[in-house]
Amino acid sequence: MVYILKIKYMGMSETFPYILMIYIKIILLFYLKAIIAYAVNET
């Protein structure tokens, strides 16, 4: 998914993909926290 986004936004300025990567990393961190919290509650 990230690879597709990189190709899609390759023609744009260098700063935009960088911001996009930070945004994706933040979302992934929230997903990981949610999954960990769910796993802890299940046990």
Q: How far apart are CA 29 and CA 9, in angstroms?
A: 23
Quote the pLDDT of residue 31: 93
pLDDT in tens, 1-43: 556 556 555 555 566 667 788 889 999 999 999 999 988 887 7
Question: How far out from the chain centre does Cα 43 lie?
Answer: 27
- Which residues, including other chains, have CB under 8 Å from residue 16's CB and lie 6 or more apart? 9
Instruction: With beta carbons less than 8 A apart as the criterion, state whether 9 and 16 touch.
Output: yes
Confidence (pLDDT) at 30: 94
Residue 15 per-residue DSSP state: H
- Rounded to 10 degrees, the C-alpha dihedral 11/12/14/17 comes to -100
